Chains A and B, each alone.
Chain A
Amino acid sequence: MPALAVSFTLNGAATTVSAPAAERLLDTLRYRLGLTGAKEGCGEGECGACTVWLDGLPVNSCLVPTYQVRNRRVDTVEAADAAALEPLLRAGATQCGACTPGVVMTARWIVNHPEVLATHTVRELMAGNLCRCTGYDGIIEGIEAAMPAQAGRP
């Protein structure tokens, strides 16, 4: 399969990678760029373990062909600020950790967009990230604790 050179902004830095035309962004990140934070949980966009941001929006990187990120912005869990994740740790949001990088990317997006809580609950917003360990309460409480005070609350 012919390789394509794809240039994009990865965690704030200009990046160029050569990848086959059909390669998934998930594989490019993990196997070509060494960013193994995003995980493959299902390979079909159901579990969300591979969630990254594309131009600031959470996407399943197993469903994004790498060529589609040309000239766009990709952010991964590796760019997350560890200190900002303390509330998730304290609430028990991670157990086995396999869903966690995806959960963190959706969670950070919610925390950065408190206005969405005017129309949706955290429980609804997290429904795209499957977790088999926590029963979700730890994740939801962690996100609520990480939300800026009063912001966007209905």
Chain B
Amino acid sequence: MLQRREGLAKLTGRERYVDDLPLDGFFWGMTVRSPAPRGRVTAIRFGRDVDWSQFIVVDHRDLPGPNVVHLIEQDQPVLAAGVVRHVHEPVLLLAHPDRDELRRAVQAVEVVVAPEPPALDFREPPRPDQIQYGADNVLKHLKIEKGDVERALADAPVVVEGVYETGAQEHVYLEPQGMIASLEGDTVVIRGSMQCPYYVLAALTHALARDESRLRVIQAPTGGGFGGKEEFPSHLAIHAALLALKARRPVKMIYDRGEDMAATTKRHPARVRHRTGLTKDGRLLAQDIEVLMDGGAYVTLSPVVLSRGIIHAAGPYACEHVRIDGRAVFTNAVPFGAFRGFGAPQTLFACERHMDVIARTLGVDPVELRRINLIRDGQSTATGQVITDGADRVAVVERALELSDWRGKRRAHAAHNATHPTTRRGMGLATFYHGGGFTGGGEVYLKSRLQVAGLEDGRVEVRSANIEMGQGAITVFTQIAADRLGLAPEEVVIAEADTARVPNSGPTVASRTTMVVGRLVERACDDLRRRLGLPESARGDAVRAALRASRRRGVVGEAVYEKPPAINWNDTTYRGDAYGAFAWAAYVAEVEVDLRTGAVRVTDFVAVQEIGKVINETLARGQVQGGVAQGIGWALMEECKWKDGAMTNNQLTNYIIPTSDDVPSIRVAFLEAPYAHGAQGAKGLGELPIDGPAPAILNAVAEATGTDPREIPLTPERLMALFD
């Protein structure tokens, strides 16, 4: 198996991240932020103890283009212009050669705000004086309807209801956000930590009113993203560019952890309400689901997060009558944004916790409840997507039960719980799915383009805008190209993601890189072979010989995304094929709960998934284990504390993410039912593992303790309250 290609550079500390790049004659850049959640900026006072002539100061009037960070809606300013909508909103930018003096200067600026009433609780309907978006603060309202839910609920022998809540989650990529802007001739060059170089390019084009020929965005090795470097880096790139243009020298902006946690996006908090009609033995007859998400103070990606959230909300089950009503609402919180799973973890938490609530209410075994309702080939999802992928979803569950020794452990736990004075043990199951790639017509809209070029030295170069952030894109693309052309991995070069050199193969998000973009790598290899005049069967030496013969001509193979013909989606009615392929999973958590402290320890974890095809086992397993650990954090310990819509525990001392000692060994197994339109048969994997841990763990706690937890993070304090 191919080892991670950049792995040794990382292990030896040689890999150069943005803050490690050599840079001469540069200024540091920092941000002055709003102290208030909502109001008019009435004054900006510069302290007398600072020699301001030594500083570059940028405000909204310095923008060459519109004061907007270009995204779905053009509502979010680059720098506040007279009005602030959330705490930590950027107001001014400062640059100076000395970082300590710069820090003192930021402290010496006072932004005076005349306060207006903020909307701070997304669950409460806004008062008239809190309305700031449309007529009702609703950023996006989406609906899925299948069958006749009201009638089916009225006719159902049993109806089970439940409300479930999930908290915000901070990404805690280990490398904070960072960006360098410099001027090379007339070109603004951006180097930084990011998932989507072409998003950054589009945002710069807009805000700097500068055409693409005078802009260049280069992704630096990126120390984790998890969605947190999807849309946010556009802000930082514009900020750094504005300072560099004014200073006429390079400017480096590196957030420290406190600023990164306080001022950048997080996972959307959500409340999900289920009303479910069933037969007495547990067959689903109707699912009525309401999803409410906190969008924060600007639209960012909330409409798409909501969309993915509602599409996944009914779970991997067959049900003839489904209604899902989703709203993302405005609040004066720091805007929420992309985070691994993108809305699905919230709705799947609710769905899978609700399944166990149903099981307890009906007196049905939770495994049996899932077994009878899991989608079979030929049945359809909530959007009416008929599943015909040949994956055996029941076999996925069976494997998870077998690996976790579900039945044996449950017996042992019953014995333990009957006698132990202070601890309770339990097992919990979650079955779920995750759609790979952009939703519906999204991939068509992206028109992703990718090249595989013959190099002068006889190697081939994959030119894509999809970046490495730890997930393994470099290694997987290498494997896919080498396999396709019969070359050795060393004969494949992955180009740096530099918008001056690589075509736009779309963003590195949505579990699309291996499945969708990897398929473009294969097709671009095929195109290269055609252009070399080789038959489809040519591999290895035949390809090498043709590459050598053509090296001066610079032959370039190219592929553009083509929609698989069978995928049809209607974005107006929300009916049809939401995703090209779903990956399917069953996770089992075992917990031990200390009744004296409310502390929950996950003592075993089994993660089984069907992902089409495993391309690199070490990398795939690492994705699952990392996602599960992140899910354990979200379920039990990662709690954002809020004041005025801003995080107050913005440091790793009191926002607790799991250490090695907080998680068990995570046991991973894969099943494979190849997807015809994915690279080598692969489906998306990156996000799937964050969907299952929280419900599996809470189901285990419920089983162990007899409590009925409905909210995460299930901190010891919350669980103790349930004991009382």
Residues on A facing B (Cβ under 8 Å)? 1, 30, 35-44, 46-47, 49, 76-78, 80, 82, 85, 88-101, 104, 123-124, 126-140
B623-637 CB mask vs A (1 if < 8 Å, else 0) is 011111110000000
Give CA–CA (A94, B469) in the complex, Å. 11
Main secondary structure of the interface of A (DSSP, over half): loop
Give CA–CA (A86, B650) in the complex, Å. 36
Tell me whether B679 is interfacial, beta carbon within 8 Å.
Answer: no
Interface centre among A36, A44, A91, A101 (most CB of B within 10 A): A36
The answer to whether B626 and A135 touch across the interface, beta carbons within 8 angstroms, is yes
Q: Which residue of chain A has the shortest Cβ distance to B261 in the bound complex?
A: A42
On whether A80 and B13 interact (CB within 8 A), knowing A44-B653, A127-B661, A135-B622, the answer reads yes
Tell me whether B371 is interfacial, beta carbon within 8 Å.
Answer: no
The answer to whether A96 and B651 touch across the interface, beta carbons within 8 angstroms, is no
The answer to whether B16 and A36 touch across the interface, beta carbons within 8 angstroms, is yes
Interface centre among A41, A99, A127, A133 (most CB of B within 10 A): A133
Distance (whole angstroms) from the CB of B272 to the closest CB of chain A: 26
The answer to whether B628 and A97 touch across the interface, beta carbons within 8 angstroms, is no
Give CA–CA (A18, B16) in the complex, Å. 25
Distance (whole angstroms) from the CB of A28 to the closest CB of chain B: 13
Give CA–CA (A100, B662) in the complex, Å. 19
The answer to whether A98 and B224 touch across the interface, beta carbons within 8 angstroms, is yes
Give the contacts of B170-196 with A (CB-CB under 8 A).
Answer: 171-176
Cβ of A36: which chain B residues have Cβ within 8 Å of it? 13, 16-17, 19-20
Cβ of A39: which chain B residues have Cβ within 8 Å of it? 17, 19, 174-175, 223
The answer to whether B257 and A134 touch across the interface, beta carbons within 8 angstroms, is no
Q: Which residue of chain B has the shortest Cβ distance to A80 in the bound complex?
A: B12
Give CA–CA (A36, B629) in the complex, Å. 28
Give CA–CA (A97, B475) in the complex, Å. 14
Cβ of B659: which chain A residues have Cβ within 8 Å of it? 126-128, 130, 136
Cβ of A30: which chain B residues have Cβ within 8 Å of it? 19-20
The answer to whether A134 and B174 touch across the interface, beta carbons within 8 angstroms, is no
Tell me whether B226 is interfacial, beta carbon within 8 Å.
Answer: yes
Cβ of B628: which chain A residues have Cβ within 8 Å of it? 135
The answer to whether A132 and B11 touch across the interface, beta carbons within 8 angstroms, is no
CB contact between A131 and one of B100, B174, B666 (< 8 Å): that residue: B174
CB contact between A130 and one of B174, B619, B621, B625 (< 8 Å): that residue: B174
Give CA–CA (A2, B178) in the complex, Å. 29
Q: Which residue of chain A has the shortest Cβ distance to B659 in the bound complex?
A: A127
Residues on B facing A (Cβ under 8 Å)? 3-4, 6-17, 19-20, 100, 171-176, 221-226, 256-258, 469-472, 618-619, 621-622, 624-630, 651-653, 657, 659-663, 665-666
CB contact between A43 and one of B8, B256, B627 (< 8 Å): that residue: B256
Distance (whole angstroms) from the CB of A89 to the closest CB of chain B: 4
Cβ of B626: which chain A residues have Cβ within 8 Å of it? 95, 131-135
List 11 A-B residue pairs with CB atoms under 8 Å apart, sorted by A's residue number: A39-B19, A41-B175, A44-B653, A95-B4, A95-B622, A97-B221, A98-B17, A127-B659, A130-B172, A130-B659, A132-B629
Give CA–CA (A97, B13) in the complex, Å. 8
On whether A132 and B173 interact (CB within 8 A), knowing A46-B652, A85-B11, the answer reads yes
The answer to whether B222 and A134 touch across the interface, beta carbons within 8 angstroms, is no
On whether A92 and B657 interact (CB within 8 A), knowing A77-B13, A98-B223, A132-B172, the answer reads no
The answer to whether A123 and B660 touch across the interface, beta carbons within 8 angstroms, is yes
Q: Which residue of chain A has the shortest Cβ distance to B668 in the bound complex?
A: A137
Give CA–CA (A115, B252) in the complex, Å. 45
Among all A-B residue pairs, the 6 with the closest Cβ atoms: A37-B13, A96-B470, A98-B223, A135-B625, A97-B10, A36-B20
Q: Which residue of chain A has the shortest Cβ distance to B223 in the bound complex?
A: A98
Give CA–CA (A39, B13) in the complex, Å. 9
Interface centre among A47, A95, A104, A129 (most CB of B within 10 A): A95
The answer to whether B661 and A92 touch across the interface, beta carbons within 8 angstroms, is no
Cβ of A135: which chain B residues have Cβ within 8 Å of it? 622, 624-630, 663, 666
The answer to whether A92 and B652 touch across the interface, beta carbons within 8 angstroms, is no
Q: Which residue of chain B has the shortest Cβ distance to A81 in the bound complex?
A: B12
Cβ of A127: which chain B residues have Cβ within 8 Å of it? 659-662
Distance (whole angstroms) from the CB of B124 to the closest CB of chain A: 33
